[in-house]
Amino acid sequence: MKKQKLIAAVTVALVITGHAATITVNTVAPTVDGLDEANLTTITGRLKWFHDIEHDAGQTFLPGADAVLTSFTIQLDSKNDNDDDPNEWVNVRLGTITRPLGIFTFTEIYAEAAYLTEDWAAQDYISFNLDTPQALSGGVEYAVITDAQNMGNWNGPGIPYIGLTGNTYADGNAIGRGGPRGDDIVFHANLEVEIIPEPTTTALLGLGGLALILRRRK
């Protein structure tokens, strides 16, 4: 996908609450296999991890086929905050991207809160494991935005930085300050094959439920 400097539109949000992602921290990059989308290259820049929607930090990506997103990983460039305060958390948002007439729009379709349970350090890979995996359609551009919460004052110590690369991922771009950037985040989208029940299995389950209802009525 050719990178363009686009105008950011107001986000239209469909917020789904009541879910909590889990965070895992690793010193090595995740394995890329199957349907995964990733940009696991050397960090050449950094993006400050602000906590407000006006400074959204994220990455767009393009699944090559229908799949289920189970987790999303980013790499930190630096880590100023060095405690595991339970009041620190990350708002993880998944949405679709449209770009009609050069206008970039992120439309939220799912959101989870991910609470910090262990400390992380510079160069670590931070994975957000979704409580409810989300089905994605191949050929549709999506984005994951991570808003770090309670990480410190915007112009003081405490806020980590996300690792950036140049224009190294062909099918998307980084998001910063609510709009598209000309570079990419070091990221990994773990995509699994969507398992759809066979018609016979679905039919049997339906018949079983009907039989149970009739038995109860008798």
- pLDDT score at 127: 95
Hey, what amino acid is at 78?
S
Q: What is the pLDDT of residues 159-205, one digit of tens each?
A: 789 999 999 999 999 999 879 999 999 999 999 997 665 565 555 45
Q: What is the pLDDT of residues 28-78, one digit of tens each?
A: 999 999 999 999 999 999 998 876 666 789 999 999 999 999 999 999 998
Residue 68 buriedness (CB in 10 A; 0-12 / 13-18 / 19+): middle
SS3 211: helix
| 120/122 Cα distance (integer angstroms) | 7
**Domains in the chain and their CATH numbers?**
7-217 (2.60.120.820)
Hey, what amino acid is at 47?
L
SS3 75: strand
Examine the pLDDT at 207 and tell me if it is beyond 70: no
Q: What is the pLDDT of residues 101-134, one digit of tens each?
A: 989 999 999 999 988 777 788 999 999 999 999 9
Among residues 166, 187, 177, 216, the alpha carbon closest in space to that of 72 is found at 187
Among residues 63, 73, 1, 70, the alpha carbon closest in space to that of 35 is found at 63
Cα distances from 51 to residues 5, 155, 159, in angstroms, run: 24, 12, 9
| 127/130 Cα distance (integer angstroms) | 9
Q: Name the pLDDT band for 11 (thresholds 50, 70, 90).
A: very low
